[in-house]
Structure 1
């Protein structure tokens, strides 16, 4: 009988504790389950978005192979509209810019590259877009605008290519001394195994520059 009384006391204690804290615990549990469901749903959504964006990017690359520039540009626009938060959006814009440039559509190329510069989420893609955009502006003789595009900081891996493009813009303006300094900087900041180093050195040699220090 003592055991039964002790058991009853425990039950009463538990009931009292639950009456005091049960509602709070229930809501905490609901919140935790809700957070887990939201997290799981978000992960599923992200995977779904990436899969759909990947399929669209495949369509864009097929359009590039077919030299269907209009379809490439439409695909890039769809990618920005539907999947702008994925890396595929930047990849599509860079691909579309190349297709537009090859089709002599410089305005189309600039628009694609400018979107990556302004809205890209990946620093490397943004740096690449800056360098390519400056190249298009060089072709248009928009030298000041090109220099402005190159004025931003970029990841270390792109510093050499950016300095090289700056040298091209300066040479186009016949600013030989400044171009020489830019090419020397490009050599200093380029990886020793980079295939572009030889071309930079050729440019530097052509204007009487010295090799950059190792």
Structure 2
């Protein structure tokens, strides 16, 4: 029994020595993990609050659009980008606000709003922002700037629209050969997208328009 007691005491002494050497590290590690868990929970709560507030603002923006309250739309869009820019509602709302700004004749604000979405939006929203921004620049005869926006590579859904608008810009610049190539690229993308299960491409209104633009350039496909 005495031998057992001695062995047990030795184990206790070893445990004490080990704790003296590593105890502080373990304590700090556990504390850090606890802080991380609390921080993560707090961040999730904060994100939830942000999303809820942004959703309410987005709803208010939609109502302002229905009422055709341009100033209110602009104000809400600014608040979305300034306070809730990390939420999905900000780029959606700002893209909608840009349409209102442009239609009301405020191209400068529309450009700024579209540029924000192009920089902060994701996926198709970003692609749409670049496309619309290029369209505004075409209207303003800022052709080189428009082409820079169209250099952004979009997803397949907007490939034809990008190529068509690029053709429009090149026509405006008097670059007919390059415009013809862009329209053919757009037509190819459009017909590829509209093919049915049999592999036959139908003549959609967009395809018909592209054929007309090519005919006008003397380059029917």
Q: Give the TM-score normalised by structure 1.
A: 0.85
Between 120-129 and 53-62, report the one with greater CA deviation: 120-129
Residue in 1 that maps onto 2:142:
142
Displacement after TM superposition at 1:73 (Å): 0.6
SS in 1 for 2:194: coil
Query: Which moves more between the two structures, 72-81 or 1-10?
Result: 1-10
In the alignment, what sits opposite 1:158?
158
Q: Give me the whole-angstrom Cα distance separating, in 2, the residues matched to 1:156 and 1:135.
A: 19
Equivalent residue number for residue 203 of structure 1: 213
Name stretches of at least 5 consecutive residues in structure 2 with no aligned partner: 196-203
Give the whole-Å Cα distance in 1 for the aligned partners of 2:217 and 2:111: 30
| Cα displacement (A) at 1:157 | 3.7
Q: Which region of structure 1 is more displaced relative to structure 2, 66-75 or 167-176? A: 167-176
Alignment of 1:1-214 (within 5 A): 1-2=1-2, 4-117=5-118, 119-190=119-190, 191-193=192-194, 196-211=206-221
Paired residues in the alignment total 210
Q: What residue ranges of structure 1 are gaps of 5+ in the alignment?
A: none
Counterpart CA distance in 1 for 2:209 and 2:48 is 42
Any idea what SS the aligned residue of 1:141 has? coil
